[in-house]
Amino acid sequence: MVDFLVVENLSKNFGGFAALSAVSFKLERGEILGLVGPNGAGKTTLFNIITGFLRPSGGSIHFQGRDITHLSPHEIARMGIVRTFQLNKIFLHLTVEENIRIGCYLHEKGGPRRFFFGAPSEEKEYLDEKVRKIIHLIGFEGFKKKMAEDLPYGDQKLLSIGISLGAEPTLLLLDEPFAGMNPVETGRCVSLLRRIMEQGTTLFLVDHNMRAVMGFCDRIMVLNFGKKIAEGKPAEIRENPEVITSYLGSIKVA
């Protein structure tokens, strides 16, 4: 069986600054991996490199047996890896429906026939159904015609997840999905992610909400100063002294 996601010795230097140093880990298909660490630990850098938005200084990434280290973001998306952004990205000036419809871009057919005669009606129906299913999944039936910019922040974050579902990701990377959400919204988001996981998508998420991450993820990886300092089940991570130190600073005993 081919490994799902393998990251080996990944490094990233910005000038003299080592944002990531020799980070290695594996992700199993179907599991939920959480990535935590203090601010500046290199979590978003890692996401950016895996999804092609940033070039690594060294190391490699293999997805389902294929080397994706130097692919561009759109190529990686086509292989089934989609990500959300820390600073939430949605198409603000379009409706909820239109947003998700653009998410389904990979299922639109182009070409000269489409140019002259428009999209075939089967494709329109297929996409309409797809959009309808996603809207139902994220629970936005009541306001599918609402402008994205008019949604409350928590809903905008759910919308960005909905958009990414249009691309039918095998692996979904979520950069701080719970950030800025109150407990109710966080609960809704966790339920949504669980439903997505049940539909067969593997999840890899970064967040600072320890409770949500510990309660939701199968395994957790901890980064600090660009290095992986711990990896394991939530219970193990909670007890790990190095992890505690990295968040709280070293405890001096007088």
Contact residues for other proteins, defined by CB under 8 A: 51, 53, 72-74, 77-78, 82-85, 89-94, 101-103, 105-106, 108-111, 114-116, 118-119, 163-164, 166-167
| Minimal distance, residue 49 CB to other proteins, in Å | 14
In the complex with other proteins, the residue whose CB is nearer, 14 or 105, is 105
- 207 within 8 A of 36, measured Cβ to Cβ: yes
Hey, which residues does 6 pair with through a beta bridge?
26, 62
| Minimal distance, residue 159 CB to other proteins, in Å | 11
| Minimal distance, residue 94 CB to other proteins, in Å | 7
Q: Sign of the CA dihedral 225, 226, 232, 234?
A: positive
Cα distances (Å, whole numbers) of residue 241 to 71, 213, 216: 37, 18, 22
The contacts of residue 211 (CB under 8 Å, 6+ apart) are none
15 burial level (CB within 10 Å; 0-12, 13-18, 19+): exposed
∠ CA(14), CA(17), CA(22), 5° rounding? 90
Longest dimension (CA), the chain: 79
CA-closest candidate to residue 174, choices 199, 194, 198: 194
In the complex with other proteins, the residue whose CB is nearer, 8 or 108, is 108
In the complex with other proteins, the residue whose CB is nearer, 50 or 237, is 50
| Minimal distance, residue 104 CB to other proteins, in Å | 9
| Minimal distance, residue 89 CB to other proteins, in Å | 4
In the complex with other proteins, the residue whose CB is nearer, 58 or 73, is 73
In the complex with other proteins, the residue whose CB is nearer, 11 or 170, is 170
Distance CA 171, CA 204 (A): 7
| Minimal distance, residue 238 CB to other proteins, in Å | 32
Q: Do the strands 5-14 and 17-27 form a parallel or antiparallel pair, or are they unpaired?
A: antiparallel
In the complex with other proteins, the residue whose CB is nearer, 109 or 252, is 109
Which token pair is 124? 């329109």
| Minimal distance, residue 26 CB to other proteins, in Å | 23
In the complex with other proteins, the residue whose CB is nearer, 21 or 85, is 85
Which token pair is 194? 């669980």
Distance CA 99, CA 106 (A): 14
